[in-house]
């Protein structure tokens, strides 16, 4: 096989592997049940089996592509990796029948046929191992490729855990405020939860004041600033920020974000049940549920509905690798931040008030965010 054909073959393997992101997510969501609105949570054993098959199919094909491109230490193993990926792909798509399964099955069967013909035509004499020592650039590429494969495997294996982090089976089955706003068939769900040793009326003031131009999001604000959002967490309750109404906006960024986004990014308030629920369009519902003794469960549920398209397959890898894990990391820190502030306020008073600075708003007053 010429070098050019092997590069094209590697690209085909990588693209086919990445195209398993959305089918894998859909298959696992159906097995779990709750992300698609099933009345009962699915079997953990079935979810584990499905996750393993998905990981082998996706990682196997991508690793085979890297090997075909000459990435060490995969260069000599790409046919076996591709075969494992193809067999797992047929199992995943054939057993669980996610959307767009048939084209994927046909491509994986084509890969098996190609590998079989290649094996039949190959020489029985093993090729001599290469004594060429790769340069620093090629070694760096190999390290990056292996790290990417490890991240891909982690994103798949950890997904059933982080998509429902902190939530009980009973909470996943609850009907919550905001569920009624999902249009069309339910296609995905994310739910995170945390227990707070404080009643709901002491948690609500922290929740209702979130926003870039308000108290921040109680998450990793240093990371948020690193990505250009001027967010500073405020660790005390501000009376002026205690009112939100449907139609208001909770902003994620300042005006002119990164110098290119003129319209402020954020979420529209869809519903407010004071003391219990705050629902933001395109994010989800923040719900306070009573917990014994005298505590609160803070649930955050994000759901999406509608009909699928082939574009979803193209965007699937970005959802799996770029959105879901960073979203989990930031939202988990947000829930823990609200918990810590509410519990500290209850046990010994709030954190010392941050220094104030003059407000640039037309209303005069002061801005309680740190400078």
Give the separation between CA 148 and CA 227, rounded to whole angstroms.
22
**DSSP assignment of 265-302, as one string?**
PEEEEEEEETTTEEEETTTEEEEEEEETTTEEEEEEEE
Q: What is the pLDDT along the chain (371 residues), one digit of tens a residue?
A: 788 899 999 999 999 999 999 999 999 999 999 999 888 899 999 999 999 999 999 999 999 999 999 998 898 899 999 999 999 999 999 998 887 889 999 999 999 999 998 887 874 444 444 556 667 888 899 999 999 999 999 999 999 999 999 999 999 999 999 999 998 888 899 999 999 999 999 999 999 999 999 999 999 999 999 999 999 999 999 999 999 999 999 999 999 998 888 889 999 999 999 999 999 999 999 999 999 889 999 999 999 988 778 889 999 999 999 999 999 999 999 999 999 999 999 887 544 444 333 333 333 344 555 43
Nearest alpha-carbon partner for 79 in 186, 131, 1? 1
Q: Where are the domains of the chain?
A: 3-121+135-162, 169-367
Nearest alpha-carbon partner for 11 in 84, 89, 65? 65
Break the chain down into helix, strand, coil percent, rounded to 5.
Answer: 50, 15, 35
**Taking the CA of residue 52 as centre, how many other CA atoms within 13 Å lie in the half-sphere pointing to its CB?**
5
Angle, helices 44-68 vs 21-32, to 10°: value is: 170
- Give the residue carrying structure tokens 């933001």: 280
CA diameter of the chain: 84
Give the separation between CA 70 and CA 202, rounded to whole angstroms.
59
Stretch (H or E) spanning 367: strand 366-367
**DSSP assignment of 217-284, as one string?**
-SS-HHHHHHTT-------S--GGG----TT-EEESS-TTBTTTB-SPPEEEEEEEETTTEEEETTTE
Nearest alpha-carbon partner for 18 in 104, 87, 84, 77? 104
Q: Which CATH number fits domain 169-367: 3.40.50.2300, 3.40.50.720, 3.40.640.10, 3.30.530.20?
A: 3.30.530.20
- Give the residue carrying structure tokens 């097995």: 31
**DSSP assignment of 21-72, as one string?**
HHHHHHHHHHHH-GGGT-SSPPPHHHHHHHHHHHHHHHHHHHHHHHHHTT-T
Give the separation between CA 29 and CA 51, rounded to whole angstroms.
10
> Using an 8 Å Cβ cutoff, are 59 and 17 in contact?
yes
DSSP label at 163?
Answer: T
Give the separation between CA 362 and CA 350, rounded to whole angstroms.
29
Give the separation between CA 108 and CA 123, rounded to whole angstroms.
24
Task: Give the other-Cβ count within 10 Å of 221's Cβ.
Answer: 20
């Amino acid at each position: 096989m010429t070098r050019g054909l092997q590069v094209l073959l590697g690209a085909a393997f990588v693209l086919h592997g990445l195209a398993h992101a959305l089918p894998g997510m859909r298959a696992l969501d159906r097995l779990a049940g709750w992300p698609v609105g099933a009345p009962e949570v699915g079997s953990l054993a079935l979810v584990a089996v499905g996750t393993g098959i998905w990981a082998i199919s996706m990682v196997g094909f991508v690793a085979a592509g890297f090997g075909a491109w000459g990435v060490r230490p995969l260069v000599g193993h790409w046919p076996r990796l591709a075969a494992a990926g193809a067999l797992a792909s047929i199992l995943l798509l054939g057993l669980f029948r996610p959307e767009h399964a048939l084209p994927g099955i046909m491509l994986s069967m084509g890969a098996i046929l190609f590998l079989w013909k290649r094996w039949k035509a190959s020489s029985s004499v093993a090729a001599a191992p290469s004594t060429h020592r790769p340069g620093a650039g090629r070694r760096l590429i190999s390290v990056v490729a292996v790290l990417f494969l490890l991240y891909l495997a982690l994103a798949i294996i950890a997904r059933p855990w982080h998509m429902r982090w902190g939530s009980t089976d009973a909470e996943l089955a609850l009907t919550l405020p905001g569920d009624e706003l999902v249009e069309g068939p339910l296609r995905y769900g994310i739910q995170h939860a945390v227990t707070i040793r404080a009643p709901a009326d002491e948690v609500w003031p922290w929740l209702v004041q979130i926003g870039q131009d308000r108290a921040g999001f109680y998450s990793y604000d240093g990371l948020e600033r690193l990505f250009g959002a001027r967010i500073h967490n405020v660790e005390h309750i501000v009376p002026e920020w205690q009112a939100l109404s449907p139609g208001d906006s909770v902003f994620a960024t300042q005006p002119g974000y990164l110098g290119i986004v003129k319209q402020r990014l954020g979420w529209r308030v869809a519903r407010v049940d004071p003391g219990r629920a705050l629902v933001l369009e395109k994010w989800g519902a923040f719900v306070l549920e009573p917990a014994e003794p005298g505590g609160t469960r803070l649930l955050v549920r994000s759901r999406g509905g509608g009909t699928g398209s082939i574009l979803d397959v193209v965007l699937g890898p970005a959802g799996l690798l770029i959105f879901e894990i960073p979203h989990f990391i930031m939202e988990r820190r947000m829930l823990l931040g609200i918990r810590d502030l509410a519990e500290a306020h209850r046990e010994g008073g709030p954190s010392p008030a941050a220094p104030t600075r003059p407000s640039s708003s037309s209303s005069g007053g002061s801005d309680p965010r740190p400078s």
